[in-house]
Structure 1
Amino acid sequence: MKPDYKLVAKAKYIHANADLASEIWHEVYKRYYPAKQLDTLVETLQSADAIEADIDNDVNYFLVVLGGKTIGYFAWKMENTALHLLHLYLKPEYRGKALGRDILATCERLARGEGRGRLYCEVHTKCLPVLQFFKTKGYRVLGPAEAEAAGIPMQLTTLEKML
Structure 2
Amino acid sequence: MTELKPVTENEIELLQQLAEEIWNQHYIKIISKEQIDYMLEMFHSKQKILEEINQDCIWRILWENERPVGYLMLKPEESGMYLSKIYLKKEIRGKGFGKLMIDFIKKTAIERKLYKISLNVNKHNTDTIRFYEKSGFKKIGEGVFEIGNSYVMDDYIFELDLSPDQP
TM-score, normalised by the number of residues in structure 2: 0.90
Q: What is the letter of the counterpart of residue 5 of structure 1?
A: L
Please tell me whether the aligned partners of residues 24 and 90 of structure 1 are also in contact (alpha carbons under 8 angstroms).
yes
Please tell me whether the aligned partners of residues 45 and 149 of structure 1 are also in contact (alpha carbons under 8 angstroms).
no
How many equivalent pairs are there?
161
What residue is the counterpart of 2:8 in the other structure? 9
What residue is the counterpart of 1:86 in the other structure? 84
What residue is the counterpart of 2:146 in the other structure? 148
What residue is the counterpart of 2:165 in the other structure? none
What root-mean-square deviation, in Å, do the aligned CA atoms of Structure 1 and Structure 2 show? 1.4
Please tell me whether the aligned partners of residues 144 and 158 of structure 1 are also in contact (alpha carbons under 8 angstroms).
yes
Per-residue Cα deviation, 1:48-95 (whole angstroms, up to 9, x for no partner) = 232223223322111100111110100101111311111000000110
Find the aligned partners of 1:148 and 1:108 in 2 and give their Cα distance.
29
Which of 72, 79, 96 is 1:98 aligned to?
96
Q: What is the letter of the counterpart of residue 19 of structure 2?
A: A
Per-residue Cα deviation, 1:28-53 (whole angstroms, up to 9, x for no partner) = 11112222222112111122232223
Counterparts of 1:35-46 in structure 2 under 5 Å?
35-46=33-44
Find the aligned partners of 2:100 and 2:58 in 1 and give their Cα distance.
17
Find the aligned partners of 1:148 and 1:22 in 2 and give their Cα distance.
21
Moved more, 98-107 or 36-45: 36-45
Q: What is the letter of the counterpart of residue 33 of structure 1?
A: I
For structure 1, list consecutive stretches of 5 or more residues without a partner in the other structure.
Answer: none
Find the aligned partners of 1:148 and 1:74 in 2 and give their Cα distance.
23
Find the aligned partners of 1:142 and 1:62 in 2 and give their Cα distance.
27
Q: What is the letter of the counterpart of residue 13 of structure 2?
A: H
Please tell me whether the aligned partners of residues 86 and 122 of structure 1 are also in contact (alpha carbons under 8 angstroms).
yes
Please tell me whether the aligned partners of residues 82 and 120 of structure 1 are also in contact (alpha carbons under 8 angstroms).
yes
Secondary structure of 1:30 counterpart: helix
**Consecutive aligned runs of 4 or more in structure 1 exceeding 6 Å deviation:** none
What residue is the counterpart of 1:71 in the other structure? 69
For structure 2, list consecutive stretches of 5 or more residues without a partner in the other structure.
Answer: 163-167
What residue is the counterpart of 1:120 in the other structure? 118
Query: Is structure 2 residue 160 aligned with structure 1 residue 161?
Result: yes
Per-residue Cα deviation, 1:10-34 (whole angstroms, up to 9, x for no partner) = 2x21111111111111111111222
What residue is the counterpart of 1:50 in the other structure? 48
What residue is the counterpart of 2:21 in the other structure? 23
Find the aligned partners of 2:102 and 2:34 in 1 and give their Cα distance.
32
What is the deviation of 1:111?
0.9
What residue is the counterpart of 2:134 in the other structure? 136
